[in-house]
Structure 1
Amino acid sequence: MTQRIQKWLNGGKYLEVDGLQIFYQVHGHGPDLLLLHGYPYNSYDFHLVVPELARSHRVVLFDFPGMGFSDKPRQHEYTFAGYAKVVNALARHLEIREADILAHDLGVSVAQELLAQQSESSFKFRSVAFMNGGLFTDVYRPRLIQRVLSQSPDWLGAFLSQRIGRKAVERPVVSLFGRDTKPSAELLDDFWSILNFKEGKAIAYRIGRLVFEKEKHQQRWHQAMRETKTPLCYICGPADPNSGRHMAERYRQHLPQSPVYFLSDTIGHWPQLEAPEEVLQQLGEFWRRFR
């Protein structure tokens, strides 16, 4: 484990939810802000924006089961509803009554599930900012490795996940970053440490399968997005081949009154790591618009 990741781990606590230990961190004071991370890493994805966000908010971030520093049982059924349950449990534990949400990648689907369950939620949503995630399956473009690992029979997915090497994992990850904002060797070391914590690489295919289970939720989620009174927006790294400009344009078709914030043209799938200042600027603009 790298020193940076060890420091991040040391800065968190654990909450038990349905028998699973969930890693979380809290930073700053003020209105609550929940950060929902993506696949296949964890809340460390937000480490460059947390210090500034914590100047004006109580920032709450955590690792979903099966990822990062949370428990990763091999036989657990990982679902979006289960992830939403973790969010609500953490909100109750921290006495969150109302919160803004910033969601990235897989986290946008959890945010959609939360919106669909909004009437039953343990807290009120002030706003939801989606960022580079697969909100619409009809235009989402998963990488080949996602398809191979996540659409294979269970035994084959497990076999491949256990044996896949670092270069094979990093190649598609690097391809999702913008051409001028590729991850450093240090960040790739951090990613590798996170993925392998508690043998997470061996079950990564099971989390990845959630990408292809979104289809059955589409009608319900999209209806929730249309009907909610919660302010929504899409922050877009346009160069993301998975969920970049094409996803933002699809979002505009679905929610023409909801703002879309395009970052610099060469920013890819991880805006919070590639262009943290731009993310903070656009997030602030979104909040000012609806306050």
Structure 2
Amino acid sequence: MSQSVEGIDLSSWVEQSEVFEFQGHALRYWEAGEGEPLLLIHGFPSGSWDWQHLWRPLAQRYRVIACDMLGFGFSAKPRGHRYSLIEQADIQQALMTHLGIRRYHVLAHDYGDSVAQELLARDGAGPSFLASLCFLNGGLFPETHRPVLVQKLLMSPFGFLVGKGFNQDKLRQNFGRVFGPDTQPSERELAGFWEMIACNNGQAIMHRLIRYMPERKVHRDRWVIAMQKTRVPMRVIDGAADPVSGAHMVARYRELITRADTVLLDGIGHYPQVEAPEQVLAAYLDFRSEKAEAA
């Protein structure tokens, strides 16, 4: 791996975090660099450290911001809370207000894609605040989302027991299925992913966080219409080998979105920013360069 996308030690990452409050909950966030604001939105079930390989090279070009959403990573994980993608979008906007940022770019992944879709729908319904939007692998369309077994079990009436029994070995097994065959996570990465989940006993709320899957179906039409009508520049950068939201999701995106801007990464799975950070960085910078030239 090249020096430009070298990872960040998790303990150092946590030390660099700051805290802001949202409705009484303490949320961890990170900020670095200067220039146009770029908000990074992580996925399920981990946190913002997912962006560790891209953080420094992006911060050389932009003012990058990321937060561990409510229930994730090193942020608060209230036990009886009713977690919602809508609230998570509220949190992203609250963070931007906290930082005095009115207009920004978004790079999102997985669960974060749904949060970004909600932001896009809001952008189209009022004053525009999104400058561009880039999606990595995620369930942009419920009809193409293929959840892994543990997600299905978490959705069941016994989901709370599944969460309580979730451990690092089971995380390894599940991530092994969704990462590319030749780009499996390292032991260091697996330990970091697990620490984000286990912090504040996160296993105990996994069955609550997973409710985002049916929530996606509720908002599906509104979000897809927003994507079809928007003038906000969009690109999808997708690991094609991902069984959850890989090449089959991109095929659906091309069916529904006019002049679809997509980049497929052969052999890469569900976490392209971890598996192939150089390729993701190149594709993202190319996207930003093309849109800047077109403006």
- Relative to the length of structure 2, the TM-score reads 0.93
1:160 to 159, 162, 180: 162
The answer to whether the Cα contact below 8 Å between 1:96 and 1:123 also exists between their aligned partners in 2 is no
Q: What is the percent sequence identity of the aligned residues? A: 39
State the Cα deviation string for residues 46-99 of structure 1 (Å, max 9, x = none). 000010000110000111100001100011111111001001100001111211
| Structure 2 unaligned residues grouped into runs of 5+ | 1-7
SS at match of 2:211: helix
How far 1:152 moved relative to its partner? 1.3
Shift in Å, 1:267:
0.7
2:17 alignment counterpart: 12
Q: 2:202 aligned with 1:197, yes or no?
A: no
Instruction: Assess if the C-alpha contact under 8 Å between 2:146 and 2:244 holds in 1.
Output: yes
Pick aligned residue for 2:212 from 210, 213, 235: 210
CA offset at residue 168 of structure 1? 2.0
Match of 1:136 in 2: 141
Instruction: State how 1:224-239 maps to structure 2 within 5 Å.
Output: 224-239=226-241
Contact 2:178 2:269 in 1 (8 A): yes
- Amino acid in structure 2 at the alignment position of 1:290: K
Task: Specify whether residues 246 and 99 from structure 1 end up closer, same or farther in structure 2 by C-alpha distance, changes over 3 A only.
Answer: same
Counterpart of 1:286 in structure 2: which amino acid? F
Q: Cα offset for 1:100?
A: 0.8
Equivalent residues of 1:36, 1:108 under 8 A apart? yes
Matched residue SS, 2:53: coil
Q: Does 1:55 align with 2:57?
A: no
Distance 1:55 1:202, change over 3 A: same
**What is the alpha-carbon distance in structure 2 between the residues aligned to residue 274 and residue 67 of structure 1?**
21
> How many Å separate the matches in 1 of 2:183 and 2:143?
28
Match of residue 244 from structure 2: 242
Deviations 1:91-148 (A, max 9, x none): 0011112111000000000000111111567871110001100001111100011001
Match of 1:223, as an amino acid?
A: I
* Contact 1:88 1:121 (C-alpha < 8 Å) held by counterparts: no
Bigger Cα displacement from structure 2, 98-107 vs 200-209 = 200-209
Q: Secondary structure at the match of 1:138?
A: helix
RMSD: 1.4
Q: 2:72 aligns with which of 67, 81, 85?
A: 67
Instruction: Give the TM-score normalised by the residue count of structure 1.
Output: 0.95
Q: Give 1:287 shift.
A: 1.1
Distance 1:225 1:119 in 2: 9
State yes or no: 1:284 paired with 2:295: no
**Matched residues in 1 for 2:283 and 2:124: separation?**
28
Aligned length: 285
| Partner Cα separation in structure 2 for residue 171 and residue 128 of structure 1 | 31
